[in-house]
A and B are shown apart, each in its own frame.
Chain A
Amino acid sequence: MNSGVVKVLAVAAASFAAMSAYAADTIKIAYIDPLSGGGASVGEVGYKHFQFIADQLNAKGGVLGMKVEVVAYDNKTNPQESLIQVQKAIDASARIITQGNGSSVAAAIEDFVAKYNDRNPGKEIIYLNYAAVDPSLTNEKCSYWHFRWDASSDIKMEALTNYMKTRANIKKVYLINQDYSFGQSVRSEAMKMLKQKRPDIEIVGNELHPLLKITDFAPYIAKIKASGADSVITGNWGQDFALLLKASADAGLQVDWYTYYAGGAGGPTAIKQANVPDRVFAIVEGHANIPNAPSQELEKAFRAKLDGQSNWYPRAFNEMTMLVKAIEETKSTDPKKIAQKLEGMKITVLNGGDGFMRADDHQFFQPMYIASFGPRGANEPFDEEKTGWGWKTAAKIDTPNTMVPTTCQMAHPS
């Protein structure tokens, strides 16, 4: 063996040693979401959010002197693939996992994490969910190791219908949703809650269409028109939302849109193209133009760093704020201690106001906003997707009015 090779090996060995020493003073967060396939556009943006937060923390010297590192694992929005990636993350010594896209994925991870922790006492991992909204995750399937920062779809519908009941001009509502678990839960909750809160509202149509398969929504729009609806409720996202809105604009349909994901990728562009100012509402936990100095400062910094990308996930910031708080207060990165601390934790959320993690089901509650999209006034500094239009608050729903009961029977570890 010549000396050159020996030198290379020595350097390699030294750097391995350095790496393992390094690993001890980093907090590793495994980000498990689609980075390829149809969900990649959204998954990649989420990853940038978490990277941005980690960079901010590290610039301030990290957490307890440790560096925060976010490592991305591509799950292709596939539950099976997700479990492989979770295992990979665990093998790479990550004990904090975060995921958001797809409730089917979330359910698989929640179940896997609970079982893994049962089998591996002392090596628990914790699962922080920033976006999967299926109510079952904090109800019948709830788990001690799962914490959710986005409002579940029931909470969103509760808030949305609390707003709709105050709008006297709503007489006839049309429901159009994607035919899978989320769309179906939007539809059934909407029917149930509208019936309770405004029995006079007539539901004139109730449509389910296949997920991401429709290129032309004109026939659906013709049906909505024929029904005489004045408002439409939809959980549609992505191109199913954009194409729906475009088709309605083409046909000249005049209705109000009550949506979950009008703010998602391509949504603002479609609303602007459809030219329906102030008629599209979205239920969100925050938007760029909420008059709150810290979040507007952050929005500015975020857009400057990420090439105009707006902050989609105030909840990701809330999640990380609480994680950091738990680590600092327990002086530990042990998921078991973090989970104990997170239960019932209260914070001031990014957009201002009180939020807390309910101990019964590990669902986070926070002020919710009904935002409408249109031309901006003097108080709306930020636009979306370079359209010139921006969000403004149509109504704010305070935390107590977002509370929904849970059926969760939480099993606490001994």
Chain B
Amino acid sequence: MLELVIVSTLNGVLFGMLLFLMASGLTLIFSMMGVLNFAHASFYMLGAFFGFQLSQWIGFWPGLVVAPVLVGGIGALVERYGLRAVHRHGHVAELLFTFGLAFVIEEVVQMVWGKLPVDYRVPPSLDFTAFTVFSTNYPAFKMFELLTAIAIFVVLLGVLTRTRIGLVIQAALSHPNMVGMLGHNVPRIFMLVFGLGTALAAVAGVIAGPALVTQSNMAGLLGPILFVVVVVGGLGSLQGAFIASLLIGLVQTFAVAINLSLADIFGPLGVTVRPGLLTDIWQVTVAQIAPIIPYLLLVMILILRPSGLLGTRET
């Protein structure tokens, strides 16, 4: 029992940090620009495929630097020549633009790398067991993943709240005209923020690619859960996203470990359900619905606390 609790906690934290790694860029773009980027997971996928390609040519570590730069560049171009033009038509247009962009990116990835998974490996320098808990191994690569996520959180938070650049960026969101009057190039600030956000997505892709499966449908599979993280944490709150990632990671991991169903709980009390419409609900175990629980959380948060855990404005 103790073993399962400790191992589940560790697994939950690791999965939570992976989620944060992916959601940080999305949160950044939303909190600074007010753009809900549906194509975020696609930039994450681009990062994974660029990382894969570069690891073939120049190795994993250079790839970890170059791939985010390339993807960030693409992101900046998308902002400059796509989003900026769409921006004046309002948020719905932006949303639809990024929604369409996600499909375009997926198609391009399929054309270049095909539809089958590619063989993207963990670099040999991190391909060993970091430590062992109750005979369960924890690979060094997962530790690297964890540390990167924490580092990104600390650096981003520091930049946004403690530096002049962060100040200007934040001001540009709420008072763009004033910031412009003060001599800052507001459109360029937005372009840089969007580029940075997509670059962060690419970092997540380069790191998650070898750990998960690098395939052309990886964006679609991951997209929904990122929105859960951002909404539960509070749209636009970096700290919120951090806490929400951990929460979702832990909830989901522990739920998988629980084999209880309603029948197990109420059965001993003498309550039974006749076979029929409700038998499924009666007998389904918590473990079986574990991956759906985050979405339940999303619905509950939107009803009970629309601003999210740490959000400052209504969604």
Contact = CB atoms under 8 A, between A and B. Distances in A.
Given A216-B11, A219-B253, A265 B4 contact: no
A142 B292 CA distance: 35
A82 to B, nearest CB: 20
A394 interface: no
Interface stretch (B26-34, B135-143, B186-194, B233-241): B135-143
B221 to A, nearest CB: 7
Contacts of B225: 215
Given A246-B212, A265-B116, A219 B8 contact: yes
Contact of A250 (B119, B137, B221): B137
B142 A273 contact: no
Contact of B11 (A44, A213, A222): A222
B256 A266 contact: no
A251 B15 contact: no
Given A218-B14, A222-B8, A252-B129, A179 B288 contact: yes
A196 interface: no
A215 B212 contact: yes
Interface stretch (A123-131, A203-211, A332-340): A203-211
A214 interface: yes
B217 A38 contact: yes
Contacts of B247: none
Interface residues of A, number: 37
Contacts of B135: 225, 252
Given A41-B115, A215-B221, A243-B212, A223 B142 contact: no
A378 interface: no
Contacts of B288: 179, 207-209
A210 B291 contact: yes
Interface in A250-277: 250-252, 265-266, 269-270, 272-273
Interface string A172-186: 000000010000000
A243 B213 contact: yes
B40 to A, nearest CB: 15
Interface in B279-314: 287-288, 290-292
B257 A219 contact: yes
B256 A219 contact: yes
A40 B212 CA distance: 20
A134 to B, nearest CB: 20
Contact of B119 (A44, A207, A385): A385
Nearest to B3: A226
A222 B287 CA distance: 13
A212 B213 contact: no
Nearest to A37: B217
A220 interface: yes
Contacts of B18: 215-216
Contact of B142 (A44, A250, A269): A250
A215 to B, nearest CB: 6
Contacts of B222: 215
Given A179-B288, A273-B121, A239 B215 contact: yes
Contacts of B116: 41, 265-266
A386 interface: yes
Task: Summarize A's interface: helix, strand, loop or mixed.
Answer: helix
Interface string B241-268: 0000000000011101100000000000
A97 interface: no
B137 A251 contact: yes
Contact of A207 (B121, B142, B217, B287): B287
B56 to A, nearest CB: 12
B104 interface: no
B117 interface: yes
B211 interface: yes
Contacts of B138: 250-251
B256 A220 contact: yes
A225 B217 CA distance: 30
Given A209-B288, A246-B212, A251 B136 contact: yes
Interface string A81-118: 00000000000000000000000000000000000000
B132 interface: yes
A272 B122 CA distance: 12
A44 B11 CA distance: 36
B7 interface: yes
Given A41-B115, A219-B257, A212 B221 contact: yes
A15 B176 CA distance: 64
Contacts of B132: 252
Contact of B137 (A216, A220, A252): A252
Contacts of B252: 219
A247 to B, nearest CB: 9
Interface of B: 3-4, 7-8, 11-12, 14-15, 18, 110, 114-117, 119, 121-122, 129, 132, 135-139, 142, 211-213, 215-217, 220-222, 225, 252-254, 256-257, 287-288, 290-292
8 contacts: A41-B216, A209-B288, A213-B221, A219-B252, A239-B221, A246-B212, A252-B129, A270-B213
Given A222-B4, A239-B213, 16 more contacts: A209-B288, A210-B292, A213-B291, A215-B222, A218-B15, A218-B253, A219-B8, A219-B290, A223-B4, A223-B257, A223-B287, A225-B136, A239-B215, A243-B213, A251-B137, A266-B116
Report, nearest first, the 7 A-B pairs whose CB atoms are least far apart: A41-B115, A252-B137, A266-B117, A219-B256, A218-B11, A219-B253, A216-B15
